Amino acid sequence: MKNTKYIFSFLLVLASLSGFGQEEEVLPVAINSPSFLDWVVENILVVTGFIMIGLAIMVISRTMSVLMELQKIRFIEEHGFEVAKEANIVTQKSFWSKFYTASTDLIPIEKEQDIDLGHDYDGIRELDNSMPPWWVWMFYATIAYAGVYMYWYHFSDNGKGMINEYAIEMEEGDRIKQAFLAKMADAINEKDVVALSAPSDIKEGEGIFIKNCAACHQASGAGSVGPNLTDEYWIHGGGVKNIFKTIKYGVPEKGMIAWAAQLRPSDMQKVSSYILTLAGTNPEGAKEAEGIIYKEE
């Protein structure tokens, strides 16, 4: 078929350029509103599907038109051109008919002998038809699209190349990981809680203590309405598990509310860990000891 060698030449050129520009610098990750071109690229199968449906509709429409034309030809052959003209059978071709003829490059039946290659296969003749122009146009369109694609993703700052997509996916994965860890942190209970030692956690625990607990225990933990938290005596048991449990469920009969409704488990773990650091600080004006001495097992 004609034009075949040119098509393979274009394919080889595109294949040689497929890896061009891959060593790109990672752009700053930013989430922008997607452009129309981005949507087309990401939904190329949908776009291609619509194009194919449109082409199928055109082909069906043209097939029906061809059948109608054949009926007209038969009428003219049987009754003559003048009769067909008077009967308004012979009409001027519409724009779409002309466009379809140009896009398909159909050879009229009466001229098929001009392109007959002389090969007959059980009554099926081989014709030297040129490649349909509509197919060639689509092929040229893919070449143009490849050029736009290369510019968009490899030379401009608009498209996200593979390296940038990797960076974005890694950032998204880290966000999901952090959300999972935060969720796991809130799965803590009094049975599996452990004391934290990281300075940042202790600092956060101090802030929570001063905001919520200082009114009854003083900012230093020396105690006032509530007991002294700096000595070795404990009413409801010491150690991180007992402190966490006391904070979580409270001591309603003594006026201490259950903080489970207001603090996350991770926050209660942090404030429990901070309270442990108050042991032995001996603040001025500390309240007298209450409870019994607690020894960690």
Residue 43: name the closest of 55, 32, 34 by CA.
34
Q: How high is the pLDDT of residue 93?
A: 61
Please return the burial class of 250, using the count of CB atoms within 10 Å of its CB with bins 0-12, 13-18 and 19+: middle
Q: How high is the pLDDT of residue 20?
A: 43
pTM given for the model: 0.44
Asked whether residue 249 carries a pLDDT value surpassing 70, the answer given is: yes
Q: How high is the pLDDT of residue 90?
A: 57
Output the CA angle 273-279-281, nearest 5 degrees.
125
Query: What digits encode the pLDDT tens for the residues 37-82?
Result: 666 667 777 778 888 888 888 888 778 877 877 777 777 777 776 7
Per DSSP, the three-state class of 269 is helix
What mean pLDDT is predicted for residues 198-209?
94
DSSP strands (E only) in the chain = 116-121, 124-127, 233-234, 292-293
274 and 205 Cβ atoms separated by less than 8 Å:
yes
Query: What digits encode the pLDDT tens for the residues 91-125?
Result: 556 666 677 777 777 777 777 778 788 888 888 88
Residue 259 dihedral angles phi and psi, to the nearest 5°: -85, 0
d(CA 154, CA 146) in angstroms, rounded, equals: 11
Centroid of chain to Cα 273? 40
Rg (CA), the chain: 41
**What are the chain's domains?**
4-16+29-162 (no CATH), 199-293 (1.10.760.10)
Residue 100: name the closest of 145, 133, 128, 75 by CA.
133
Q: How high is the pLDDT of residue 272?
A: 93
Place of tokens 């966000």: 175
